[in-house]
Chain A
Amino acid sequence: MATISVPLGQQGQPQTRLPGLGEIARWTVDHKIIGLQYLVTAFVFFIIGGTLAMMIRWELLTPELDIMPDGQSYNSLFSIHGTVMLFLWLIPAFAGFGNYLVPLQLGAKDMAFPWLNAFAFWIIPPAGVLMLLGYIVGQAEAGWTSYPPLSTLYSLADGQTLWAMAIHLLGISSILGAINFIVTILNMRPEGMTLWKMPLFCWAVLATSITVVMATPFLAGALTLLLLDRVGGTSFFDAAKGGDVLLWQNVFWFYSHPAVYIMVLPGMGVLSEVLSTHSRKPIFGYRMIALSSMAIALIGFTVWAHHMFTSLQPELRIPFMISTMIIAVPTGIKIFGWLGTIWGGKIRLTGAMLFALGFLSMFVIGGITGVMLSNVPFDYQVHDTYFVVAHFHFVMFGGSVFSIYAGLYHWYPKLTGRMLDETLAKWHFALTYLGFFFTFMPMHFAGMMGMPRRVAVYDPQFQSFNVVTSIAAFVLGVSTFIFIYNAVVSLYRGRVAGANPWRALTLEWATPSPPPPWNFDEDPVPFEDPYGYGTKAATAYLDAIDRIYGVPEPETPSGGVLRGAPAPSGD
């Protein structure tokens, strides 16, 4: 280990320069800037999708049509909300984390295919624009699942065609990115880092990428058939001409169920990093958590038809119920492993940790309702109702979005060289957690009592559920802006982070923040165990990093940021 000394916390300025807006907005092959491009783009679409969600909740305040002129307009609201949130927010956001972190965690200088990496990103903005252009030609209104014949013979506006083309492009981007991740992870690990010593985030990205490469071509196939039916005069989905509408459901869900894991496995990787680091304790059952990611990814390919319990041949329903239930086992292993991780540790309730704990407590509810849904007789009651809407928001928001926030709070210092304000983080967490819970919990009951999903006009008996949900949703919407404010202001006024503010052992912290374009000044030596907290060797390793790259700017006694104070006498 080198022994260059750097003055303790160079107050006021991070050691390296943050890339300017001009550098972020142009073509580059630097994986870190591409990672930022992904994250910023995804967050913009998160705001767009969130705005649509707010309009949905406003419309649902009363059982009649209010702000929407007719049912079709409402249908395109939730169609685009769902599509944007899944394909333009969750997937690109995790691709952003993957791009930024995987090479750093592996001690590499870049991804295996830097040009391909940039190309995969630059497909996304035009695809997003293409989808939003649908508003000019008559937006898609068949839901994010776009079941034919509603999406073919009965959607005459061209928005549906643009929708399919946009998803096609996003699928290409996804596949290219995934191939890049697999090659990078399998080939570019530093000396001494076997697969079993790899950070769990890399394991999660590996499992996700394998799923993407296996599943996404099926989405492409389904979309091609849909496009041919819409513009090519074929009749794959036209029963009157010998087509079959269930063909779409089977092929679409053969992608889209694994896609659920594509959207949550990287979040689970983030969670492993955050929980271990912020409770200062090794991951409990590292191998089991790594293997359960793989198990979820693989078993995830055998469960697609549980989305079709009310349309599938009856005799096929039971096998898919069984395979779906089996997924609960590896998921349970993860949850208990994480509980084991924080048990007995030294828990620090930072913003990252709060969102990680929030993930645990909300995701488990999504898991419980998932097992409920897998039971065919109960699914008959709640299939395509608000119960399902609640279930997948507990998984996709309570799980994935919470983990994205945890990741943003955890790695913001690495990305920018500055710390986020922890007081605002606590406010952000409190409002998001409560807003989220009271938005989606009442939906379970509305669904069980008989409210189908995707309706603008509903039975007045469900109004009280919907009013609670809408008000909580508005709180949830507002809470996002606390984070945006924090992220923007901290860029200029945040405490200087130093290289390793959380004293974490993975390699991305063994270089200045933000890392220089070449990532590491010299070949980094990974610590023998990425989660080996609580040993003298780990402490020595972390102390050495602090000595080389400096420590975070100290907090002032009032908790604010020390401004203009003289540098303490370092070495």
Chain B
Amino acid sequence: MDISSRDTQEQRIYIPGLGFILGFGAFCVIGAVLFYLLVSTRTVPVLPDQASLQSRNTDSLFYLLVLIGSFVFFLVQGLLVYSVYKFRARPNDTADGPNVHGNATLEIIWTVIPSIVIAVLGVLSVWVWNNNNAVLADDNLVNGRSVPIHVTAQRFAWLFEYQTGEKDINDKDIVLKGSSLHTYVGQSVRLTMNTLDVIHSFWIPAVRVKQDVIPGRTTEFRFNPVEMNLPYEFVELIGTGEDGTTLYLEASADSEAVFNLKQNDTLEARRRATDESGAWTQVELVDSRLAWVESAAIGGQMHRYRIVCAELCGGGHGQMFAYLYIHETEESFLSWYSANLERLRVPPNDPVELGRQVLTSGAYPCANCHTLTSLGWQGITGPNQNGIADRAGNRAAASGADSGADYIMHSLRQPQDYLVPGSWGAQMPAFLAEGELNFMSEDDLIGITAYLCTQTATGNPQDNTCGLEFGDDGALVDVDAALEYLRGLAAKYNP
């Protein structure tokens, strides 16, 4: 058998010289250090701002992972490219490579070294994890007292409740509810979380912590906001005086000229500019409208970050987010906190005004799903609420409700009973008359109903067909009669 034509095998494998090994090693190390420096100095920012102690710890671990990871990257890709370049068969070279089956020393090296590296990484990870979970101070200190903060997740919104421990003039507990989370630099934040429906995941990218919110369990979320040496872009506007504070909106086709921030109403806005005297500040509202406001109305300054849902929860998953406001100081935080407390201490007797306060403060998470232009709601997963007073009145008879107001109340207490045409199922959880989760007090129910009864297509409350009578000034003609009527309706939905 003549095989001489192919019998030209090289029987020795190519062993690189010391120069190559050192040079290639240097290439990998320099490449890794370069990546490390680019990332750790934030020259190439690959992670959001470091708003918490946890983010600083986690990022140091991440930078180390980048260092090790890019070393492996350059090692493997480098060897790959070099091999292809160096050992590529020349045209017409039909010979085989050397018959080499392995090398025990090398194989031990590339088993042992990775084992050591991951052992070290494991220890460091546990260390960072413990540091991140460490409790540094009493939870949620406000004026030296711990204020429990509870988070309720539902499709598709977050609700934050501060158990203030204060009483209002009717001797009821004041729970400060809102659609944003407020905290301040130095606070040790602890949140307890529940969900009303599916699994959600509470994630603040700037904080680097994520925790699922699981049906049937209460989970916990801790973080410690820190000073970042970044300009505070956002300000807290607080309505002062009997008549409140006026925001002068910059002219645009579809905006009103002024916007009144009633006494103790709070509003977060982005600071855009200050005039020469410093007495006036230009701000950008959440719906992107620009306005000028007296600088005196600014209660504090803060950073704003997104809180998002990271676990698939349904059709509105992408729209499920809220804002975290990190106030510069505890004083700044208190300006927001105290104004809200003051407002809640004296609930208005007029149900329409109460409803407006409840809805604008974000005490119920309506805005994420519903559209109601008068309040700036832009949600799209739920039925549109513009002109709801007309439709409620029209549907009342067909649905067997006493009146439009009854229809609205029924829709809040038992949303699954009515399906809006074109909707594929009631995703809104029922707002219950008792219990901890998704509780809506009778006063709030009446207030919200009364407010929604003013939302007619024409914008004039007098045109409503809900069953409430409004005067020329847009206010209820007889507040007590209206309250009595609404209380009678609400009683039907008590357990």
Contacts and interface: CB of A to CB of B under 8 A. Distances in A.
Interface of A: 70-72, 74-75, 141-143, 147, 149-150, 153-154, 156, 239-240, 243-246, 279-288, 310-311, 314, 317-318, 321-322, 325-326, 328-329, 332-333, 335-337, 339-340, 342-349, 357, 360-361, 364-365, 367-369, 371-372, 375-378, 380-381, 383-385, 444-445, 448-450, 452-459, 532-536, 538-540, 543-544
Contact of A380 (B58, B199, B308): B58
A318 B129 contact: yes
Complex A-B, nearest 10 residue pairs according to Cβ-Cβ distance, in ascending order: A239-B216, A71-B315, A450-B205, A455-B318, A281-B97, A534-B99, A457-B318, A345-B97, A239-B215, A311-B212
B391 interface: no
B271 interface: no
Given A329-B111, A343-B13, A449 B48 contact: yes
B201 interface: yes
Contacts of B214: 239, 245-246, 311
B89 interface: yes
Q: Which of B205, B206, B312 has the most CB of A within 10 A?
A: B312
Interface in B180-219: 197-199, 201, 203, 205-206, 208-212, 214-217
Contact of A384 (B132, B201, B217, B316): B201
A457 B315 CA distance: 10
Contacts of A280: 89, 95-97
B308 A450 contact: yes
Contacts of B107: 285, 288, 333, 336-337
B424 to A, nearest CB: 8
Contact of A364 (B61, B76, B210, B215): B76
A559 B9 CA distance: 27
B128 A377 contact: yes
Contacts of A142: 312
Contacts of B208: 377, 380-381
B65 interface: yes
Nearest to A358: B80
Given A347-B88, A533-B97, A149 B308 contact: no
10 contacts: A281-B96, A288-B107, A310-B201, A343-B79, A344-B98, A360-B76, A448-B46, A539-B9, A540-B1, A543-B3
Contacts of B396: none
B19 interface: no
Given A285-B101, A339-B79, A348-B88, 10 more contacts: A71-B319, A71-B381, A239-B215, A240-B216, A284-B102, A346-B97, A361-B76, A371-B69, A450-B203, A532-B99
Contacts of A385: 310
A303 to B, nearest CB: 13
Contacts of B11: 534
A174 to B, nearest CB: 25
A162 B215 CA distance: 25
Interface in B61-79: 61-62, 65, 69, 72-73, 76-77, 79
Most chain B CB atoms below 10 A, which of A147, A149, A454, A539: A539
Interface of B: 1, 3, 6-7, 9-11, 13-14, 46-48, 54, 57-58, 61-62, 65, 69, 72-73, 76-77, 79-80, 83-84, 87-89, 93, 95-103, 106-107, 110-111, 114-115, 118, 121-122, 125-126, 128-129, 132-133, 155, 197-199, 201, 203, 205-206, 208-212, 214-217, 306, 308-319, 321, 381, 424-425
Contacts of A532: 99
B197 A149 contact: yes
A202 to B, nearest CB: 18
Contacts of B96: 280-281, 346, 533-534, 538-539
Contacts of A364: 72-73, 76-77
A378 B110 contact: no
Contacts of B95: 280, 346
A452 B73 CA distance: 26
A543 to B, nearest CB: 6
B122 A325 contact: yes
B303 to A, nearest CB: 14
Contact of A360 (B54, B57, B80): B80
B84 A347 contact: yes
B95 to A, nearest CB: 6
Contacts of B100: 281-282, 284, 344, 534
A336 B105 CA distance: 13
A120 B319 CA distance: 43
Contacts of A318: 125-126, 129
Given A71-B317, A280-B89, A310 B211 contact: yes
Nearest to A278: B89
A63 to B, nearest CB: 9
Contacts of A372: 62, 65, 69
Nearest to B316: A71
Nearest to B9: A534
Given A71-B318, A156-B425, A346-B87, A449 B47 contact: yes
B306 A459 contact: yes
Contacts of B122: 321-322, 325
A329 B110 CA distance: 8
Contacts of B79: 339, 343
Given A343-B13, A385-B310, A378 B87 contact: no
B84 to A, nearest CB: 6
Nearest to B315: A71
Contacts of B1: 540, 543-544
A342 B79 CA distance: 10
A349 B198 contact: no
Nearest to B203: A452
B129 A335 contact: no
Contact of B215 (A240, A448, A454, A534): A240
A427 to B, nearest CB: 18
A376 B89 contact: no
Contacts of A454: 312, 317
Given A147-B199, A245-B214, A536 B3 contact: yes
Nearest to B197: A154
B132 to A, nearest CB: 6
Contact of B87 (A72, A285, A328, A344): A344
B315 A245 contact: no
A316 to B, nearest CB: 13
Contacts of A246: 214
Contact of B47 (A321, A326, A381, A535): A381
A449 B315 contact: no
A429 B167 CA distance: 71
Most buried by B among A317, A339, A367, A445: A339
Nearest to A533: B96
Contacts of B314: 71-72, 75, 141, 150, 154
Contacts of B306: 450, 459
Contact of B125 (A156, A321, A456): A321
